[in-house]
Amino acid sequence: MSDKILVVESNPFIEDAIGETTGRFRVLTERASDGWEAIEKLETEEYAAIVIDSDMPLHSGFGVLTYLREEIGEDLENVIVVTSGNRDDVQRKLSQHGVIVVAKDDVAREVARSLGKRT
């Protein structure tokens, strides 16, 4: 498995916070600013984890999740979905897929926790 994380996020401040966190664990971070760019990267690369904003322009995080489930068939336990909406509502929608759902304020902490499990 790769030591790269794909961050699918349109907010540069959140991208930077995740990048700082992953840097402490010596994990490379690749970025995609929308869902289409994320799918292009997922077609050619493997990632240890994927952080997806559920509310992105062009192609939503939910579209990327659909791609992962239907096209790649990948187990989604390595996916963290970030939402600015009601975290519990999003978690209910995604619970059967093993996806971790976090509020935007908690994303850097959750990425660090997930990376800590791997070391």
Domain that holds residue 105: 4-118
pLDDT at 2: 60
Angle made by CA atoms 113, 65, 11, in degrees to the nearest 5:
65
Q: Is the pLDDT of residue 41 over 90?
A: yes
8 Å CB contact between 111 and 21: yes
Residue 54 pLDDT level (bands cut at 50, 70, 90): confident
pLDDT 10s digits, 66-84: 888 887 665 677 888 888 7
Q: What is the CATH number of the domain that holds 67?
A: 3.40.50.2300
Q: Is the pLDDT of residue 40 over 70?
A: yes
The total number of structural domains that make up the chain: 1
* Position with higher pLDDT, 63 vs 40: 40
pLDDT at 72: 67
Residues 6+ apart with CB under 8 A from 34: 8, 10, 56, 57, 58, 59
Find the range with the poorest average confidence among 24-28, 92-96, 104-108, 115-119: 115-119
